[in-house]
Chains A and B, each alone.
Chain A
Amino acid sequence: MKHILSQVFHSGKFVVGFCIFMSILLLMIFYPIFNPGNPLQIVSIGTFAEPGIYVSVYDAVDSDMNTLKLDEAPAKRLDSVLKSEDRVKMVMWFDAAGIPVDNLSIHDTEALLTLWEENYDATIRPEGMTKADRNYFQRLDGNLKKVIVTHDKVLARQDPSSSELSVIRTIEDTDYVNIKKVANVKRLPLGTDNFGRDVLKELAAAIKTSIFIGLVAGSIATLIGLTFGLLSGFIGGLVDDFIMFITNIFTVIPAFVLLILISYSIGQDQRGPTTVAVVIGLTVWTWTARAVRSQVISLRNRDHVNLSKLSGHNLFLIIFTDILPYIASYVIMALILQISGAILAEAQLSLLGLGPKTTEVPTLGLMMNWSMLYTAHLNGYWWAYFPVILTIALISFSLNLMNTGLDQVFNPTLRD
């Protein structure tokens, strides 16, 4: 046993697969510990907040401030509102308004801004410019005004009865607060989704549910397949014919079609993750049954089985001690493939809107379904769907890699 384990962990493929899978498991286990709470809780009003660190402005203005004299601060401030595409657009405006821009480089910020200040007029309606374009330039102008001229900003409090404003303090452009001193800072490494929920937290919970579905469905499929395969392979005769008949029926009807029909007939409200897992498990066992059966048939005429019979062992003892240990490695590999298959099956079902009900727990498939319904992929909200796809791919990839690694250890003929 020890020997086999050390061999398994010497297989490069297995180790890589194992490490990937373990990292996913670590994320699944530890992220909720650092960031507890309901994964379906809505944290942001409005959809698809970008990934990043969110600092509470309300708390920041009350924090102790330090004065930092940083030379690059004004330039950065300007850059944040004047991106390179804005510069190109500005030149386009000059063109449309008929202002000569002979030797103006778009990187020459000063010249660009002077020309803009001198010439921009919101009332001018250059030809060929839509209302949206004009709004864009107005917005740009407003932003520029905010940063070019450094007005001091004032922090004031409103008296509830008289609505009078009393100035608390002035905020200068050299005022900084230490992020550690701000009471409320929210890290959203993967932003929020269409409902305004923390995507990473949701992802960690979804991995958990999906792996649960994979384990349950994979175990059910392997258990049914194993039982049928063992019985039909070992007993043979009528039992074999009957079991193979059932197996063939299930093979002829594609498992996925069956899955869709059953899921649809159960109804959204009844479909918890467990139900979905059971349904998946009940439809995909056939190939395990076939594979186990053929293994058993090649084993049942072996001399050690004959000797066991001659020693008076009964059917179940022979199956458990003389057949099962010999195919154990094979069954484990089948189980791994079934788990990975079940996780993919859940994702497919959910994408079609036939997955578990949406109110309890997220699953990888449901997260894909939501981001698709809210067209995250069309609007470039990559954080809502790309990490999910990547996770599904990695889970499936790592499981298959582990399987190949095991295969190489257990079937030495495949070793290179």
Chain B
Amino acid sequence: MAKELCLSGKNVTKVFGFGDKKTVAVNHVDFDFHVGEFVSIVGESGSGKTTLAKMLLGLIHETEGEISFLGKPREIKGRKQKREYWKEIQAIFQDPFSSYNVFHKIDAVLLDCIKMRGGKKLPYEKKVEMMTEACSFVNLKFEELTNKYPFELSGGQMQRLMIARIFLLKPKILLADEPTSMIDACSRATILEMLQNLRNEIGMTIIFITHDIGLAYFISDTVFIMEKGNIVEYGPAEKVILNPEAEYTKRLISDVPKIHEEWDLSTV
């Protein structure tokens, strides 16, 4: 699989605060993500997954290190460059309840996406058509959602709407930061399925962040294991999970409740 690089990092570090309050959230990590891959970043709470994701998105500056985008060093100093960058890389955040501006109707979120794809001047009927299509991709009915406020939706609906947003934006890379952590198991399966559909239909690279190593094994091609800001192990999913080398990975695997008996976890 000789694939092109889409995002890679060298020595990427993020330090919050200084002096006594210094926290090294991400500590000199190196990584290569390839086009079309389904990558999982696995780690327990506080291991710096979200921080890494925000750096990849360009929402916070890295303290040290360099991130390359499509093989070239990433240039996102100016506003215009950022705008262009965000056409290529988008995100779904951990908590759907805080991802929406509670003062805006749902339509506004989707219309922004159309505008970002250069469809600002389209007639309104065309826009509605696009939004309806995006909603039906995630099993939502646009007619039921239009003119509603985010707090009138359930968590699962909100998160699916976030995916509809991605469907409209069609970025090259999607960063999904524990998109299923705040919703029930049933919606979780649907959402994972939709993410896989996105990859299959649009050929998106998906960087999936989770604390559930079982889930990562189940859906991803490549797995990165993070512990306290460090990437302790990475590689193809089967290799990392069936033959873990790092102590931390072994511990994570042993913590998985053994209901997925079909997995061969006898090595643990």
- Which residues does chain B contribute within 8 Å of A313, judged by CB atoms? 112
Give A310 to B166 CA distance when docked, in angstroms. 11
CB of A322 to closest CB in B, whole Å: 5
> Is B141 interfacial (CB-CB < 8 Å)?
no
Pick from B90, B104, B116: contact of A321, CB below 8 A. B104
Contact B79 A314 (CB under 8 A): yes
Number of A-B contacts (CB under 8 A): 50
Which of B31-39, B91-99, B188-196 lies at the interface with chain A? B91-99
**Which single residue of chain A is at the shortest CB-CB distance from B85?**
A310
Which of A303, A321, A325 meets B93, CB within 8 Å?
Answer: A303
The reply on A35 being an interface residue by CB < 8 A is no
A179 within 8 A of B: no
Contact of B99 among A303, A312, A321, A326 (CB under 8 A): A303
Q: Determine if A307 is an interface residue (Cβ-Cβ < 8 Å).
A: yes
A306 touching B101 by the CB < 8 A rule?
A: no
Is A145's beta carbon under 8 Å from chain B? no
Contact B113 A311 (CB under 8 A): yes
What is the CB-to-nearest-CB distance from A315 to chain B, in angstroms, rounded to a whole number?
Answer: 8
A306:B104 contact, CB within 8 angstroms:
no
A304 CB–B CB distance under 8 Å = yes
Q: Which residues of B contact A307 (CB under 8 A)?
A: 91, 93, 99-101, 109
Query: Is B86 interfacial (CB 8 A cutoff)?
Result: yes
Closest to A313 in B: B112
Within residues 35 to 85 of chain B, which ones have a CB less than 8 A from any CB in chain A?
Answer: 54, 57, 59, 79, 82-83
A303-B101 contact in complex given A310-B91, A312-B86, C-beta closer than 8 Å: no
Docked complex: A319-351 residues within 8 A CB-CB of B: 321-322, 325-326
- Decide: A312 and B100 in contact? CB cutoff 8 A: no
Partner of B90, one of A304, A310, A325, A326: A310
Q: Mark A30-49, 1 if CB is under 8 A from B, else 0.
A: 00000000000000000000
| Complex Cα–Cα for A304 and B108 (A) | 13
The answer to whether the Cβ of B103 comes within 8 Å of any Cβ in the partner chain is yes
Task: Report the nearest A residue to B101, measured CB to CB.
Answer: A304
Bound complex: CA of A326 vs CA of B101, how far in Å?
Answer: 9
CB-defined contacts of B79 to chain A, threshold 8 Å: 314
Interface centre among A304, A325, A326 (most CB of B within 10 A): A304
Q: Give the residues in chain A near B102, CB-CB below 8 Å.
A: 304
Evaluate contact between B103 and A325: CB separation under 8 angstroms.
yes
Chain B residues in 8 Å Cβ range of A309: 59, 82, 86
User: Which residues of B have CB within 8 Å of A404?
Assistant: none
The reply on A308 being an interface residue by CB < 8 A is yes
A302 within 8 A of B: yes
Let me know if A310 and B86 touch, CB within 8 A.
yes
Which B residue sits closest to A306, measured CB to CB?
B59
Closest to B50 in A: A303
Which residues of B sit under 8 angstroms from A311, Cβ to Cβ?
86, 109, 112-113, 116
CA A254 to CA B115, docked complex, whole Å: 50
Q: Taking the nearest CB of chain A, how far is it from the CB of B110, in angstroms?
A: 10
Question: Do A302 and B59 have beta carbons less than 8 Å apart?
Answer: no
Measured CB to CB, the closest approach of chain B to A343, in angstroms, equals 32
**Chain B residues near A303 (CB, 8 Å)?**
93-95, 98-99
Closest residue of chain A to B90 (Cβ to Cβ) is A310
Find chain A residues with CB under 8 A from B115 CB.
Answer: 312
Partner of A310, one of B57, B94, B98: B57
What residue in chain B is nearest A324 (Cβ atoms)?
Answer: B103
* Minimum distance in angstroms from A305 CB to a CB of chain B: 8
Known contacts being A303-B95, A306-B93, A309-B59, is A321 close to B101, with CB within 8 Å?
yes
**Which B residue's beta carbon lies closest to that of A322?**
B101
CB distance from A73 to the nearest CB of B (A): 73
How many angstroms between the C-alpha atoms of A192 and B130 in the bound complex?
A: 75
Inter-chain contact B103/A321, CB cutoff 8 Å: yes
Q: Give min CB distance, A317 to chain B, whole Å.
A: 10
Q: Which residue of chain A has the shortest Cβ distance to B59 in the bound complex?
A: A306
| A-side contacts of B93, CB under 8 Å | 303, 306-307
A278 to B109, CA, bound (A): 41
**Closest Cβ–Cβ distance, residue A319 to chain B (whole Å):** 12
List the B residue with the shortest CB-CB distance to A314: B79
CB within 8 Å of A: which B123-170 residues:
none
Residues of B within 8 A of A310 (CB): 57, 59, 86, 90-91
Chain B residues within 8 Å of A325, by CB: 101, 103
Bound-complex Cα distance A384 to B52 (A): 69
Contact of A312 with B116 in the complex, beta carbons under 8 Å:
yes
Nearest B residue to A302 via CB reads: B98
A304 close to B86 (CB less than 8 A):
no
Tell me the nearest residue of chain B to A321, going by C-beta.
B101
Q: Tell me, rounded to whole Å, the shortest Cβ–Cβ distance linking B209 to chain A.
A: 14
Instruction: Say whether A304 contacts B91, CB under 8 Å.
Output: no
In the bound assembly, the distance between CA atoms of A326 and B104 in angstroms comes to 12
- Residues in B with CB closer than 8 Å to A306 are 54, 57, 59, 91, 93
Which residues of A have CB within 8 Å of B101?
A: 304, 307-308, 321-322, 325
Flag A70-102 by CB within 8 Å of B: 1 or 0 each: 000000000000000000000000000000000
| Whole-angstrom CA separation of A322 from B103 in the bound complex | 8
Give the 3 A-B CB pairs with smallest separation, nearest first.
A303-B93, A311-B112, A303-B99
A304-B102, A307-B100, A313-B112 given; name 15 further pairs at CB < 8 Å.
A304-B99, A304-B101, A307-B93, A307-B99, A307-B101, A309-B82, A310-B59, A310-B91, A311-B86, A311-B109, A311-B112, A311-B113, A312-B115, A312-B116, A321-B101
22 contacts between A and B (CB under 8 A): A303-B94, A303-B99, A304-B98, A304-B99, A307-B93, A307-B101, A308-B101, A309-B59, A310-B57, A310-B91, A311-B109, A311-B113, A311-B116, A312-B83, A312-B112, A312-B116, A314-B79, A321-B101, A321-B104, A322-B101, A325-B103, A326-B103
